[in-house]
Structures are given as structure tokens and as C-alpha cells.
Amino acid sequence: MAQITLDPHPLSIQGAVSSGIGVTARRPSPSYHHGMSPEETTEYLRRYREWFEEDRRIPPEPAPLFVRSLLVSEQLRRRSDLERASRYGAAGSGIQVFMTRVGFAKHSSATPIQELQPVRFADMLVGRAHVGNYLLCRVIAPCSRMVAIQTVIEDVDGVAYDLSIYNFPSTFDCTLEHLDALFPVGSVLAIREPTFKAPMQGDRPLVRVDSPTDISFVVPRSPLLDGVTWRTGLAVPGSHVSPSTLDAWQERGNGYFKASQWFLAAFAYSQGLAIQPDAPVLLLNRAEAYLRMKYYSGALCDAQRVLSTAGIQDAHVGRAVFRLAKAHYGRAEYAAAQQSFVRWKNAHPDDPAADSSIERCGARSKERATGQYDWASLFRTAKKKIRLDAAEYTGAMEVRTMDRRGGGRGVVATKYLQAGDLLMVTKPFVSVYASDLPKDRVIVTLDLISNTSKERTDALLLARIVEKISGNPDLHDEVFHLYAGPDYPQPPGRYPPAARAPVPVEPLNPKVDIDIAQLEAICTYNNFSPYRLENYHADEHGAKPTGLYPLASLFNHSCSANAVWYCIGDVMVIRATGPIPAGTEITIPYTVEESYQDRQAVLKKHMLEHCTCSLCEEDRKDGEDRLRKRHELKQRVASASFLAASLTEAREFEKSVRDTFRSTRGPVRPLLALALHAVAEKLRASGNARQLKEALQQDMEALRCFGFEVSQRQGGSQGSTRLPIGTDRFPAVTSFFEPTTMMLRIACTYLNLDEEANGELWIKAALWLTNASVGGGKELFMLVHEEALKQMNIYDYAARVL
């Protein structure tokens, strides 16, 4: 990867200090370089945390003054560098690599600005969050952006410092022109409880804003400007005159809308609404822009506001009703959506879109009530489009506080469950996949909570969660009632939280408070890597998907769980693996790695240091030496040399793996299952009848090592229906793909031996396991395993006998 190395904190140029006061010299922060190993990253984060805590202990102090013209010229240089780098990267010569850290203490305000007192830079101290105050300031230089938005601001006295804004909606991968539209030179901002911090490099302090909800855009008639006089003059040099009429803002918003710049369109319409709050056209236009951004609460409130206006034109009523219907549908309020779509259809009987929309509302309502889905159709759609249109479903389960988990929450069965019973179908609050990432930049996220480097998708996930809550403030508790670690209060025992009424969305003045530090912690403890069923064997180009599935995150982990989860597109499906009595806790595996070390590495990212499941307990009893040797052997399984190994080498490998397990250990030995299957494949390659029969025994033993019950007696008679595996439960220590592949290979081998009755039973066993794991019956089975069945030349046979 060609790289353009850019410093995300480029504040090392020393400004001209016009006072003798200086910030206390600080020890340089530890250095990080892209490409560090996991061990090096952990050590770096340990040293960084020590440095951070040491830096926090420095008492707050006054800031030196800097010549504003030099601050502006330095910001202009940064902007020019980024424009040049953007052109360079666009030419295909490099990828910009940035680094950001999450999981350290930071302040976000929860106090309405009306209850805060104004503060000026002269009264602010470096190293302090100014709780109880707000800073009124103006943008005096064009913005730049790496991880944060950077610019220069002045207070009413004309004193200037740098400003860094993180997590602002719509800006994760935006253009510099987008930033110019949001924060043009001359913009007046009010920053709630601003943090004035020392720079990581150089001597220039800066204002850092982590939560975008701490920023309000101050419009000309705002009470915050009463009695305010800017010492440097009425206008900032270089600023452009903003529209001053409703029509002008509407025209600007329409231009952005036509260019598919939804946030800027809504931003412009909001400026016009600040002039005339009940302008129906602007409310309707903003509602449509909100719908495009999935700001369903904002769209619903704007549509309702239009409909509640007396004497509104019929044309406006129709548009408001249709947008109201779409907003209800986006909020999964299917009955209300259907009612509004019917109202629209009654007024527009010739509109074909109304019928399909009404039909979709009915389909979603049925899914939610019954848990009955067209899984095969969803699978086909997911191969083309990740994000699916499906309702959520909750089966016989509920969230409870768990005494055995120290009062934390878990999920329990509310009735007796059996293998394959559907427990939950849920969609992510937000999910991010490799295809969502920008092509010209990489953000490396280092997590000080888990001491790990997070996935490339995590930074965008955090940004999109912020955006979704900003546009749907009533969903705040759905995220913030999740566990955030020991540094935060224990969340309520009840989940999901009670539904809240939709809240109007005002981009100029946010109606919700987002605590970014708590949100970062919530993501660390609760995120999933939602591997897609339809893309299970595909390469994700090095970027693993990340998703926040709030209700699913309430399931506690066990490597030997009694439920499993899979995703079709972005839809997560959770099913029982065997009998679960009412009142029993339901657990799911967060990982199914065969190696103990690999499982622990994954669990570490979920802040689980010591899994007490039966599989991990058995592994630990094997001893560290055996575990280390087994882990080394595991690394060979996917290597090219292993795939090309001879039968003799495969047998030697199987023996080496077997020796890493105690002889007294129980039957579940996942890595040995893979080793046995490797031997079976080498035996099959000979085509010799004797070796084909041995291959069958090797694969059957492999299935037992995964935890399946396999019938000792093979040789089903024609018409026999009893499957060769136990069907009261199936193991969760591996995905269903590996054992299903083994079952299909067994079936293929029996067919090669002209034992069709056995072949048919093993294909039916593979169907049973797939259906118990993900549902969908024969149709989904044929889709999921289509490639494997065709490679084995048994696709048509399976279609006939199933």
C-alpha cells in the first residue's frame, strides 16, 4: 500500500507568542507507526495511557496568546497541503493513513445552553473542560479535515486559537467544499462546556469538541447575540455574505438536494426555517432530505408539523402524508405507515407505488408477529444488497438481571425451547462493511479500553451511530442503555427501553446529548463482526464488518453456547442449538475459533478476559505447552503447503494435533476435527474403495470431535428416514459450514461406493443442520451450499432426494 503520511494533529508549528506566559512543557507522547504487531500495539497503548494520565495531572493554566494572522496562515497551509494530497491520492498514487484513539476520558455536555454562562478565552485555562460555560466564537479560517475538522476561531475579544471538531454528522468522508458549506468563514458557533487542551505537539493549545451535539450554529436573530460586539469588526475578513431570506435559503437547499447532498440541503432548509419556523415548503423539503439520510424521527416531526398547520394546501397535505408514511415505515411503525399509505392511496388511486408500499407494511407486520420469513428470498437479495428490508422478531426470550453474573443482564428462555427454534431476528442499529469504506484513506483506531487495534470499519461505525442518534434523538436510550464498562453506572435492568415519542431534529441546535466517551465504551463492549451467510467464504479485502446490534448484545458469551447466530445481509438470526428449559440463560458464541489463543484474542476485544465455558475449561486443563503447540499447528491449516500435503503428511499432522489433547479429555476437540477431515480428503483422492471407506470413518470421527452424536451403525436400508446424527441438539463450537461440508463429503463418498441409501441420509443430515442453524428449509439449503454441491457433482441428486 502506497501511503501519504499525514499527521492528524499538525500543530507543531510554533506561533508567535505575544505574551510571556507559556504552557507547561510536556513530555512527548509515545510514537506509533502503522503496521505494529498486536503485541507492539498493546505495549504502545500501555505507554500512551501512562503518558495521558501523567498529562492530566498537570494543573490547568492560562494559555499564551498567539498572533491570529499566523494562526490563520498556518491553517491555510494545512488546507493547501490537504488539497494537494487529495489530488495526489486521486491520481491513484497513494492512500492516506490516519490514526485515532478512542477510550480515553473526554467531556461531553448535558446542560442546555440556556443554563450556561458565556466565557472568553481570557478566562479559560488549558487542561480544563469549562463546565457551566459556553464559548461564543467565529470561524476565521477555512476548514481542513483529517480525522477531525480543524479550523481557527476567535472569541468576542478577537483572541484566536485552533479548533478541532470530531464526529460531526456527514463529515467522515466529505469534501473540503462540504466543510466550507457547513463552517464557512464568518460562521458564529456556541460551544457548550468547551475543553481547552494542550496540543500533543508544539505549544499551541486548542479547543477540542468531541460531541457534535455540543455545537450550536448561532443565527443572526439568536438571543445569544444580544449585546454582543465583536472587537475585530462586524464581518470576518474573507467571509462571504450568507443568504438572508427564506427564499434564498430554499434555493440553496434545493441546489444541494439536486446534488444529492442531503445533509447540506437539510442544513440550508433549517437556516430558512430559523427565519420562518412554519414555512410548509421548507418543512416538506427538509422532511424529504431527512428521509434520504434515514433521519426518520426528524422527517416524521416535520411532516406532522405541516399536517397540523391550519389552512394548508391540499398539495402540501398529500406530500406530508406520503412522507409521514415513509417515516413511520423507517421507524418500523408498520401499522401507522400502512394507515398513512392508505390515506395517500385514497387521494391518489392511480399511484402504483401506494399498493406496493401497503403490501410491504403487511409483510413486515406478519414477520414481526409470526417470525415467518422468506429466507431464500432474503438470501438472494443479500447477494446483491447487504441492507435488507425485514421486520424484527423476538421469540420466547426476555432480558433479565442475572445474579450469577453479578447483577448484570442476560437473556433467558420464557418457555421450553428445542434445537432450531427461532429466538430473534434483529437488524443493526448501524453496521459497516468493507464496501462502505472510503477508497483513498484508512483510519487506524486504537482502543485504550481493550488495548487493541480495532477494525478499519470501527471508526465509520462510531460516526454513523452519532449520525443516526442525531437524526433520531428518541433512539438515544436504545444505545446508551447498553453496558459501557465499570466506569459508568450500571444500565437499567429492563431492555429494550420504553419507546419514546419522536423528537424534532434541528441541525443548527441539536435536541439530544451524545456522550462520546460513553459511546466509545459501549462500542468496545457490544460491537459484533456480522459475517454474512451469503458472503461467508468471500474475501472482505482485509476490512472485517462491524455492527452494533443492541438487543443481541445482551446475550452473554459461551464458546459452548446453547444458541447460535448468523447474518443474512445485515439481518441477524439467532436460534437455539438444543433443549433450553424455561428460565435458563441463553448464550451465544462471540467466536468459533478452534485455537484457544485465537478465541481469547477475539474475546479480549469484547473485554472478556476469562471464559468459563466447558470448552475453555477443557483447553486450560490441557496445559500451556499443549495449547501453544496446538495454536502453532492451527496456523498451518489454511496454508498452501498444508493443502498440498500428502496422505502421509496429513496423517502425521493429525497425530501431532491429537497429541495436544489429554487422553482423558472429553470428545469435543475442534482442531482435531479439521485434521481428521484433512486425512479423509487425502484418502478420497485415491479413489480406492478401501480408502474411501476409511475416509468415511475419519469424517465421522471429525464430526464427533465437533460435538455431534454420530450413529455407530451405518448402512441405512432403502426408505430409512432415521438420520445418522442426533437431532435433539447441535454444537456451537463451530459454524455449521464445516460440519455440513463434511456431511456432504460423506454423502458423496457413499454415492461413489454405490450406497445410495446412506448417501441420501447424509444429505438429509446436512439439510437438517443447515435448517436448524439458519432456517429456510430445502430452498435456502440449496442456495447456501450451491457451490459445494456442484463441485461435488451432487447438486441435481440433492435437489431430487430432498
> What would the DSSP string read from start to end of 580-611?
B-TTPEEEE-S---SSHHHHHHHHHHTT----
Question: Three cell numbers at 743?
Answer: 456431511
CA distance 250 to 286: 10
Cα–Cα distances (Å) from 440 to 5, 86, 174, 421, 674, in that order, read 12, 9, 12, 44, 39
User: Mind listing the pLDDT tens digit for each residue in 153-211?
Assistant: 999 999 999 999 999 999 999 999 999 999 999 999 999 999 999 887 777 899 999 99
In the numeric block, the cell 479548533 is attached to 163
Q: CB of 189 within 8 A of CB of 217?
A: yes
Q: Are 381 and 570 in contact (CB under 8 A)?
A: no
Which cell numbers in the block locate residue 410?
442476560
Question: Whole-angstrom Cα distance, residue 121 to residue 617?
Answer: 58
Task: Report residue 714's pLDDT band, with 50, 70 and 90 as the boundaries.
Answer: low
E strand or H helix that includes residue 118? strand 117-119
Task: Return the number of other C-beta atoms located less than 10 Å from residue 18's C-beta.
Answer: 12
CA distances from 210 to 117, 196, 517, 619, 648 (A): 20, 12, 8, 43, 60
CA distance 349 to 71: 62
Please report which helix (H) or strand (E) contains residue 564, including its range.
Answer: strand 563-568
Query: What is the pLDDT averaged over residues 558-587?
Result: 96
Question: Which ranges constitute the DSSP H helices of 31-152?
Answer: 38-56, 68-90
- What whole-number distance in Å separates Cα of residue 96 and Cα of residue 110? 35
H/E segment holding residue 760: helix 756-774
3 state DSSP class of 11: coil
Cα distances from 508 to residues 182, 273, 307, 505, 511, in angstroms, run 10, 10, 23, 9, 10
Give the count of beta carbons closer than 10 Å to the beta carbon of residue 634: 21
Percent over 70 (pLDDT), the chain: 94
Question: Which pLDDT band, with edges at 50, 70 and 90, does 13 fall under?
Answer: very low
Cα–Cα distance for residue pair 504/405, rounded to 1 Å: 39
Find the range with the poorest average confidence among 84-88, 278-282, 378-382, 606-610. 84-88
Question: In this model, does residue 9 exceed pLDDT 80?
Answer: no
Specify whether the CB–CB gap between 235 and 186 falls below 8 A.
yes
Residue type, 565: W
Rounded CA gap, 792 and 799, in Å? 13
Domains 246-380 and 622-801 alike in fold: yes
Mean pLDDT rounded to a whole number for the chain: 91
Cα–Cα distance, 605 to 369 (Å, whole number): 35
3-state secondary structure of 498: coil
Q: What pLDDT does residue 20 have? A: 44
Sign of CA dihedral 759, 762, 764, 767: negative
717 pLDDT exceeds 60? no
Domain ranges of the chain: 246-380, 622-801
Rounded to whole angstroms, how far apart are CA atoms 574 and 563?
Answer: 7
Mean pLDDT, rounded, for 660-676? 95
Helices (H) and strands (E) in the chain, counts: 26, 26
Grid coordinates of 399:
432480558
Q: Which of 205-219, 634-648, 781-795 has the lowest mean pLDDT?
A: 634-648
Q: Among positive and negative, which fits the CA dihedral 640, 642, 645, 647?
A: negative
Cell 506566559, residue located: 21
pLDDT in tens, 299-345: 999 999 999 999 999 999 999 999 999 999 999 999 999 999 999 99
Q: Crossing angle of helices 614-622/624-637, nearest 10°?
A: 110
pLDDT of residue 543: 85
pLDDT at 180: 96
SS3 sequence of 406-437: CCCEEEEECCCECCCCEEEEECCCEEECHHHC
Contact predicate 325/347, CB 8 Å: no
* Residue-wise DSSP of 220-248: TT-GGGTT---TT-SS-TTPPPPP-SHHH
Which of 13-22, 573-582, 623-632 has the weakest average pLDDT? 13-22
Residue 582 Cα distances to 402, 411, 413, angstroms: 15, 11, 5
> Is the predicted pLDDT of residue 223 greater than 80, yes or no?
yes
Q: What is the DSSP string of 162-200?
A: EEEE-S-TT-TT--HHHHHHHS-TT-EEEEES-EEE--S
The pLDDT, as a whole number, for residue 741 is 96
pLDDT for residue 16: 43
Alpha-carbon distance 305 to 14, whole Å? Answer: 52
Pick the CATH number of 246-380 from 3.40.640.10, 1.25.40.10, 1.10.10.60, 3.30.56.10: 1.25.40.10
pLDDT at 2 over 50: no
**Gap between the Cα atoms of 23 and 719, Å rounded:** 86
Could you report the per-residue pLDDT of 556-566, keeping only the tens digit for each? 999 999 999 99
Whole-angstrom Cα distance, residue 378 to residue 371? 14
User: Residue 682: enclosing H or E segment and its boundaries?
Assistant: helix 670-686
Q: Regarding predicted confidence, which is higher, 717 or 767?
A: 767
Buried b (16+ CB within 10 A) or exposed e, 264-298: bbbbbbbbbbbbeeebbbbbbbbbbbbbebbbbbb
Out of 332-341, 377-386, 588-597, which region has the weakest mean confidence (pLDDT)? 588-597
pLDDT tens for residues 31-54? 888 888 888 999 999 999 998 898
Half-sphere exposure of 167 (CA within 13 A, CB side): 30
**CA atoms of 14 and 203, how far apart (whole Å):** 6
Alpha carbon of 77 to those of 13, 74, 143, 396, 631: distances in Å?
Answer: 11, 5, 11, 61, 51
Task: Check residue 716 and give its pLDDT.
Answer: 55
Non-local (6+) Cβ contacts of 182 within 8 A are: 143, 168, 170, 171, 264, 267
DSSP structure string for 277-303 = TT-HHHHHHHHHHHHHTT-HHHHHHHH
pLDDT of residue 639: 76
Q: What is d(CA 222, CA 4) in angstroms, rounded to the nearest whole number?
A: 43
Query: Which residues neighbour 291 within 8 Å (Cβ) at sequence distance 6 or greater?
Result: 299, 323, 326, 327, 330
pLDDT average, residue stretch 511-521: 96
Residue 689: predicted pLDDT: 94
Select from 479, 471, 474, 476 the least CA-distant residue to 506: 471
Q: What cell numbers appear for 568 in the block?
A: 443474512
Confidence of residue 720 (pLDDT cuts 50, 70, 90): low
- Exposed, middle or buried, 576 (CB in 10 Å: 0-12/13-18/19+)? buried
- Structure confidence at residue 22 as a pLDDT band (50, 70, 90): low
Decide if 766 contacts 785 (C-beta within 8 A). Answer: yes
Measured CA to CA in angstroms, residue 427 lies from 443, 553, 571, 573 at distances of 26, 12, 5, 9
Q: Is the pLDDT of residue 534 over 90?
A: no
pLDDT reported for residue 642: 80
Mean pLDDT over 212-223 rounds to 95
The top-scoring range by mean pLDDT among 84-93, 385-394, 599-608, 712-721 is 385-394
Distance CA 161, CA 371 (A): 57
Determine the pLDDT at residue 659.
96
- Asked if the model's pLDDT at residue 19 lies above 60, the reply is no
Distance between the two ends of the chain, CA-based, in angstroms? Answer: 48
Question: Which fold does the domain 622-801 belong to in CATH?
Answer: 1.25.40
Rounded-to-integer distance, Cα 417 and Cα 581, Å = 6
Place 11 in a pLDDT band, splitting at 50, 70 and 90: very low
The pLDDT value recorded for residue 697 is 96
- Please give the grid coordinates belonging to residue 346: 385514497
The confidence score (pLDDT) of residue 541 equals 53
